[in-house]
Structure 1
Amino acid sequence: MFIVFIRTAILYSLVVIVMRLMGKRQIGELQPYEFVITIMISDLAALPMQDTKFPLLLGIIPIITLLLMKTLLSQLQLKSQLARKIIDGEPTILIYRSKINFYGLKKQQINIDELMEEIRLAGYFDLSEIQYAILENNGQLSILPSNSSSSSSGGGSPKSDSDICGSLSTKKEKSSSSSTSLSNQEPMLPKILVMDGKVNKNALTTLGKDEEWIKKVLKNHNIHSISDILLALYDTKGKFQYQLYDDYEKECSKCEIQ
């Protein structure tokens, strides 16, 4: 029993020292390779504590080796931009001027539901409020509001029918008998009508509409196939917006993070 106590105390002290030498980072800020090293250290430390027949040095030596490897990789990152790119990867633009980067989502294995959830957690419920949304190397989503850049660069959320969000023109909203704008005095939760080329029947039922209605609305915008739609929704102002799969590439074909 006493041997287990001593081994546990030694390994605990070693792990604390190693983690301290690895630098001060929160779990959510760890780079992928740092996260892997942290998990491996915990496993290596647990094995000698559970099995007294397992030599203590066989737990200590690998832990110190991982510390040395982490230190070496960190030094490479400090001195070489190429090493940083290889080890950490690059941030990915997921939204640009309210446009969703479908291919970026696919590359990072993120679906639209997850993206919309992260946006809501950041305090944004309308895509038109977002100028940039960038997935950082540590997995966190950084968002630049559109209004923060409108005064300096003339940016901001798109409004015309030719833009990616496809907001209906004021004239159509006023004159059309099948209006696609919901009259609401207060902001409403966005209702996603089409996602990934599939109709959200629950949202249509909530609005008292059917699939034929959404097809008619899309046809008015010269869209003849629902499968061409990446996302179609009612925004917080009750306005109908949509995005085609290839719209992001047309607008942001050369968008890069330096």
Structure 2
Amino acid sequence: MIITFIRTLTLYFLVVVVMRMMGKRQIAQMQPFELVIAIMIADLAATPMENTGIPLLNGVVPIITLLSVQVIVSFISIKSEVVREIICGKPSILINRGKLVQSELRRLRINMNDLLEQLRGKDYPNLSDVEFAILETNGELSIIPKTSKRTVIVQDLNLKVQQEELPITVIVDGNLLYSNLQKTGRDEKWLHRELKKQGLESIKDTFFAFLSSEGEFFAQKKDLN
């Protein structure tokens, strides 16, 4: 039992490290070869966990090998457009200047119901509102609407706005995040003044506090129960 527990923990941490080294991507954002490697790694890790008779190295070595393959292929695909097209493929235009590209739909075996469903999922229920629809190499559908249907942005209105900043968290569950407070350019005296303005006596009484991108301070009191 202890051996199984140790083997499981070892493989778990190994797989976590390997997946982190593969990059910060969601499953839906993975390229086909990355998804295949992820599935194979999961299968290789499960086998030594289920059968203690199989040496642990029989799972560790193939996992490290697959990680090496993924890193090498990713590096080569960055340097070579040809290799990238072979490994990952290339985007496909399904709608070109408002017209369906029927040859691409047939080649990718996408029927109209599937395409319309994806368009609705992107908040474009009308096909006539779409200028371009591009199926990316990771399977995601990118939509470029017609000029008359695109969302109005600040630039369209010729307005001058202040540069947006990231909000900074300064207190989490009664604990002060000193490094974050320093990033705000404020000190603890300022923090205590702001807390008192919101009816909080101390940092320990605060569940969560942050400085918004507009420079406004927000804090919430910690529940007693």
Aligned residues: 150
| Equivalent residues of 1:135, 1:141 under 8 A apart | yes
Residue 25 of structure 2 corresponds to which residue in structure 1? 25
Answer yes or no: is 1:12 the counterpart of 2:50. Answer: no
Q: Aligned partner of 1:2: which letter?
A: I
Question: Can you give the 5+ residue segments of structure 1 that lack an aligned partner in the other structure?
Answer: 151-258
| TM-aligned CA deviation for residue 149 of structure 1 | 9.3
Q: Aligned partner of 2:20: which letter?
A: R
| SS, match of residue 123 in structure 1 | coil
| Equivalent residues of 2:129, 2:149 under 8 A apart | no
TM-score, normalisation: structure 2: 0.65
| Equivalent residues of 1:11, 1:45 under 8 A apart | yes
Answer yes or no: is 1:34 the counterpart of 2:34. Answer: yes
Residue 213 of structure 2 corresponds to which residue in structure 1? none
Rounded Cα–Cα distance in structure 2 between residues aligned with 1:138 and 1:132: 17
Residue 193 of structure 1 corresponds to which residue in structure 2? none
Residue 61 of structure 2 corresponds to which residue in structure 1? 61
Residue 79 of structure 2 corresponds to which residue in structure 1? 79
Rounded Cα–Cα distance in structure 2 between residues aligned with 1:65 and 1:82: 24
Q: Aligned partner of 1:95: which letter?
A: I
Greater than 2 Å deviation, 4+ residue runs:
none
Residue 110 of structure 1 corresponds to which residue in structure 2? 110
| TM-aligned CA deviation for residue 97 of structure 1 | 2.2
Rounded Cα–Cα distance in structure 1 between residues aligned with 2:90 and 2:78: 15
Distance change (3 Å), C-alpha of 1:148 and 1:44 = farther
Residue 121 of structure 1 corresponds to which residue in structure 2? 121
Q: Aligned partner of 1:105: which letter?
A: L
State the identity %.
52
Rounded Cα–Cα distance in structure 2 between residues aligned with 1:100 and 1:85: 24
Q: Aligned partner of 1:59: which letter?
A: G
Question: Can you give the 5+ residue segments of structure 2 that lack an aligned partner in the other structure?
Answer: 151-225
Rounded Cα–Cα distance in structure 1 between residues aligned with 2:149 and 2:75: 36
Distance change (3 Å), C-alpha of 1:149 and 1:83 = farther
Q: Deviations over 1:183-241 (max 9, x none)?
A: xxxxxxxxxxxxxxxxxxxxxxxxxxxxxxxxxxxxxxxxxxxxxxxxxxxxxxxxxxx
| Equivalent residues of 1:97, 1:128 under 8 A apart | no
Rounded Cα–Cα distance in structure 2 between residues aligned with 1:54 and 1:71: 27
- Structure with greater contact order relative to length (CA < 8 Å, sep ≥ 6): 1
| SS, match of residue 133 in structure 1 | strand
Residue 50 of structure 1 corresponds to which residue in structure 2? 50
Q: Aligned partner of 1:87: which letter?
A: I
Rounded Cα–Cα distance in structure 2 between residues aligned with 1:6 and 1:13: 11
| SS, match of residue 95 in structure 1 | strand
| Equivalent residues of 2:41, 2:66 under 8 A apart | yes
Rounded Cα–Cα distance in structure 2 between residues aligned with 1:149 and 1:81: 34
Answer yes or no: is 1:136 the counterpart of 2:136. Answer: yes
| TM-aligned CA deviation for residue 99 of structure 1 | 1.3
| Equivalent residues of 1:132, 1:143 under 8 A apart | yes
Rounded Cα–Cα distance in structure 2 between residues aligned with 1:30 and 1:109: 21
| Equivalent residues of 1:132, 1:144 under 8 A apart | yes
| TM-aligned CA deviation for residue 98 of structure 1 | 2.1
| TM-aligned CA deviation for residue 21 of structure 1 | 0.7
Rounded Cα–Cα distance in structure 2 between residues aligned with 1:56 and 1:148: 61
Rounded Cα–Cα distance in structure 1 between residues aligned with 2:23 and 2:138: 15
Q: Aligned partner of 2:70: which letter?
A: K
Residue 70 of structure 1 corresponds to which residue in structure 2? 70
TM-score, normalisation: structure 1: 0.57
| Equivalent residues of 2:95, 2:132 under 8 A apart | yes
Residue 212 of structure 1 corresponds to which residue in structure 2? none
